Structure 1
């Protein structure tokens, strides 16, 4: 007669089988990790992945800033619209302590929510930035003018934009506003004035 397997022996065999399975699974996982590391090191994706991560962070940061500035309570203008209303066509650059006019160092950028947010968020993090205003001219051509300019962006720069609709009431004296900014009245027969596209470019220094 064949001897019966004792409960203790069966339990021991089962434990050994589980241990063997765990070892095999561990070896497979280690093999997968090694293969992944080797494959990554053989391709130029490491720096690209890092750049993509940075670009995604900058994209999110820029979207959050513009979205916050574009918010307007009922019956009130957004901070983004106010910045356009207060603009006189001057280009400003960051000089290490503030935004100064390229025409006169004595003229600083005042009452600008865009400048305040960039100074609070982008400057301390070493993030270079440009802000342009663009609109359609009387000839149907897109005009693009710098509001804040800090040099040519790098290859990993991101661009975020928000459109702001202006009415005749928003700009006040249309002749003065057009002369100062170059933004024309797109439709003199209605209260619609023009659409300004606020374009923010962010990149790592």
Structure 2
């Protein structure tokens, strides 16, 4: 049996050179397209993305934790959140960069409450804008809302959490003055039940 040796000369094989050149060119084009696509695609915290959803979930957890802490009490006394409601004078407050001031230009009262304190401690340093709304049932049985803290219209990425606080006649030292100042009425004058206030906290990134 005779072995035949065949020598291939790539320099003389023009068809093979063309195929190799085409493969190299195609590879370079594909790599260039991938690099361009990666560089052109940007991911920001304000886009509808997984990162943004994570930020919203984190803010919602922070907000709910703050309301849970405010509404917790280990004694028979009113919780800090309930105390903020029954001691409220009906004014609307806004954060001015250093404190919560009344939005009434004729009254420069500062808000000094447990709710404003925890927001100043947690939300403000993290750059989280916030509104607090007190929602109650009026005499006609319809829900009404009054701003307790208002810092502007929320963004599209805002989250809201709430906590219901039960008020009874025994919680209020002067129900008539309380209703006159806050607009929150006695839903059932024939019983000790006064009203239910739904504290709505809205958070969003500035």
Partner in structure 2 of residue 152 of structure 1: 153
CA RMSD in angstroms, aligned pairs only = 2.3
Q: How far does the alpha carbon of each residue in 1:141-167 deviate from its partner, in whole angstroms, 9 at most, with x for none?
A: 111000000000001100000000000
What is the TM-score with the length of structure 1 in the denominator?
0.76
Q: How far does the alpha carbon of each residue in 1:72-100 deviate from its partner, in whole angstroms, 9 at most, with x for none?
A: 12311100000001101100000010000
Partner in structure 2 of residue 107 of structure 1: 109
Q: In structure 1, what is the Cα distance between the partners aligned to 2:58 and 2:190?
A: 44
Within 5 Å, give how 1:133-172 maps onto structure 2. 133-172=134-173
Partner in structure 2 of residue 98 of structure 1: 99
Partner in structure 1 of residue 50 of structure 2: 49
Within 5 Å, give how 1:120-199 maps onto structure 2. 120-199=121-200
Partner in structure 1 of residue 204 of structure 2: 203
Q: In structure 1, what is the Cα distance between the partners aligned to 2:137 and 2:108?
A: 32
Q: In structure 2, what is the Cα distance between the partners aligned to 1:96 and 1:82?
A: 25
Q: In structure 2, what is the Cα distance between the partners aligned to 1:131 and 1:183?
A: 16
Moved over 4 A (4+): none
Q: In structure 2, what is the Cα distance between the partners aligned to 1:47 and 1:170?
A: 45
Q: In structure 2, what is the Cα distance between the partners aligned to 1:119 and 1:100?
A: 13
Q: Which has the larger radius of gyration?
A: 2
Which stretches in structure 1 are left out of the alignment for 5+ residues? 1-33
SS at match of 2:91: coil
Which stretches in structure 2 are left out of the alignment for 5+ residues? 1-33, 42-46
Q: Which moved more, 1:128-137 or 1:72-81?
A: 72-81
Q: In structure 2, what is the Cα distance between the partners aligned to 1:173 and 1:86?
A: 11
Partner in structure 2 of residue 8 of structure 1: none
Q: How far does the alpha carbon of each residue in 1:166-187 deviate from its partner, in whole angstroms, 9 at most, with x for none?
A: 0001122111110000000011
| Number of residue-to-residue matches in the alignment | 167
Partner in structure 1 of residue 24 of structure 2: none
